[in-house]
Amino acid sequence: MSEASPAAPSPVTLETDRPGSKRPHVVVVGGGFGGVAAVRKLRRADVDITLIDRHTYNTFQPLLYQVATASLNPGDITWFLRAIRAKQDNVRFLKGVVTSIDHQNRTLALHGDVSVTYDYLVLANGVTTNFFGTPGAEEYAIPLYKRSQALQVRDRLFENLEEFAINGQGSDLRIVVVGGGATGVETAGAFAEFRNNDMPTTYPELDRERIHVTLLEMAPAVLGPFDEKLRDYAKKSLEKRDVDLRLNTAVKEVRPDGVLVEHDGHEEFLEAGIVVWATGVTAHPTVLDWDVPQGRGGRIEVDEHQQIKGLENEFAIGDISIGPDPLPQLAQPAIQGGKHVAKLIKADLKGRKARVKPFKYSDKGTMATIGKASAVAEITYMPKLKGFLAWIIWVALHIATLLGNRNRLATMINLGSKYLFSGSHNAIVGETPYVVAKHQMHITPAEKRSQARRILERRAAK
């Protein structure tokens, strides 16, 4: 008689922090700007909160490019999400990825057969890179949206430089940045300053003129949302740093060794050691399985209260949401949206939900930096700024917005050593592979063994 097959294990349903608690359970998916803002705003609310994220840390994305260009440690801009309990005991953290949502039974399914029930749901999971179907882009370009990607760019940079130092004589090295928005401009400017200011000291064997930083933008100007005068200033500031700025230029294909571009109907292949993709975002593919209404870019459609259309007590905030009046995909709309949803939940608990006014975004402005003492800023109720003053405001605001005093202090020290002390050329680096000289690449195994034997003999003779 054959044995019966073992039954499949049942999913594990996680309870809230307080066993037996009858308090409403708020589940927040995503530990970014919006998610953390919503959780903190519910600190004194009579609810239990579960914060879910695929990572155990919050990443301060506006400074990822500083990690990619070896100016900041990844730990400077990441914050342990479980540390949120230090000042808030009605929240607990759960590492996981939401695979599906059962809206009728108010249950989330996570990878690993874990399920979480909720009374209120806040989706603040952000978005991911959009490659716009460009052939080869997803395989060979590196986005700047996650900590691991910033580290990949940084390590690839030094791998290329070490290779170039031995085998690069007589050839050129190019770094390509795709996208002329804030991330692209800041990244290209940082690469150019590293080449101009640090490499003459740290890589004296390299010819600076043979190392190119190319910024590609489809539009006729960089920093499209900014005022025309600020766009012109940014363009001149990039060119002053010898960034090879190519406007009205489309990327047709990304290859392992560079990019194929098109300008005025003419195609050109740019050989490159690094291609950084800093343009466009879209919803994570997994959102398709969540049974929520999706609009442009796969973003979740919400009403004037950030409530998901057709779903009671379920909300979406930040980059993943799109409402009647689309908001810029910046930190402030996410933070303000998170606070509004928390306010709405607290009002609903008291039967006062109808009294809450629709969400209205308060535009505090936007800014971007090109490099040391060079930035542009459009700040509400202030004149348009550029140059040193805009840069000082940019530095101060980004340090202040970081989560955790240790992160603020570390970032202040590292950025200070980079920008204030001209004699410092230290870079925050990782591991790079050994470099093999090109003339050694075709040596046979027998020749390699013979070389090794001769080296050992010489060492023994000493």
Residues with a known catalytic role: 186
Residue 430: which pLDDT band, with cuts at 50, 70 and 90?
confident
193 has a pLDDT exceeding 80: yes
Which tens digits make up the pLDDT trace of 292-350? 999 998 999 999 999 999 999 999 999 999 998 888 888 999 999 999 999 999 999 99
User: Considering the domain boundaries, does residue 79 fall inside one?
Assistant: no
**Which residues are CB-neighbours of 396 under 8 A, at least 6 positions away?**
none
Q: Per the domain annotation, does 312 fall within a domain?
A: yes
Please give the residue that has the higher pLDDT: either 423 or 204. 204
Residue 443 lies in a domain: no
Tokens 């059962």 sit on residue: 102
Considering the domain boundaries, does residue 461 fall inside one?
no
CA 398 vs CA 62, 81, 269, 395: distances in Å: 8, 19, 37, 5
Residue 408: is its pLDDT beyond 60? Answer: yes
241 occurs within a structural domain: no
Cβ atoms 359, 347 nearer than 8 A: no
Statement: residue 452 has pLDDT above 70: no
Spatial CB neighbours of 124, under 8 Å, sequence gap ≥ 6: 28, 29, 30, 32, 34, 35, 38, 316, 317, 318, 320, 334, 338
**pLDDT digit string (tens) for 29-71?**
999 999 999 999 999 999 999 999 999 999 999 999 999 999 9
Among residues 335, 418, 420, 317, the alpha carbon closest in space to that of 76 is found at 418
Query: Domain for residue 211, yes or no?
Result: no
Q: Is the pLDDT of residue 450 over 50?
A: yes
- The residue-averaged pLDDT of 125-130 equals 92
- pLDDT at position 458 is 56
More confident of the two residues 447 and 211: 211
User: Residue 439: its pLDDT value, please?
Assistant: 59
The answer to the question of residue 202 being in a domain is: no
Question: CB neighbours (10 Å) of residue 229?
Answer: 11
pLDDT value of residue 186: 96
Task: Tell me how far apart the alpha carbons of residues 76 and 65 are, in angstroms, rounded to a whole number.
Answer: 12
- Are 115 and 14 in contact, with CB atoms under 8 Å apart? yes
Chain-wide mean pLDDT for the chain? Answer: 89
pLDDT for 17 = 45
Please give the tally of structural domains in the chain.
1
325, part of any domain: yes
Give the pLDDT confidence of 363-391 residue by residue, as tens digits: 888 999 999 999 999 988 889 999 999 99
pLDDT of residue 354: 80
Q: Could you tell me the pTM of the whole model?
A: 0.86
Q: What is the pLDDT of residue 440?
A: 55
Cβ atoms of 316 and 98 closer than 8 Å: no
**pLDDT over 90 percentage in the chain:** 72
Residue 347 structural domain = 12-54+96-127+283-355
pLDDT digits (tens, 9 = 90+) for 151-171: 999 999 999 999 888 887 678
- Please report, for the domain that includes residue 334, its CATH number: 3.50.50.60
Place 1 in a pLDDT band, splitting at 50, 70 and 90.
very low
> Which pLDDT score is estimated for 2?
47
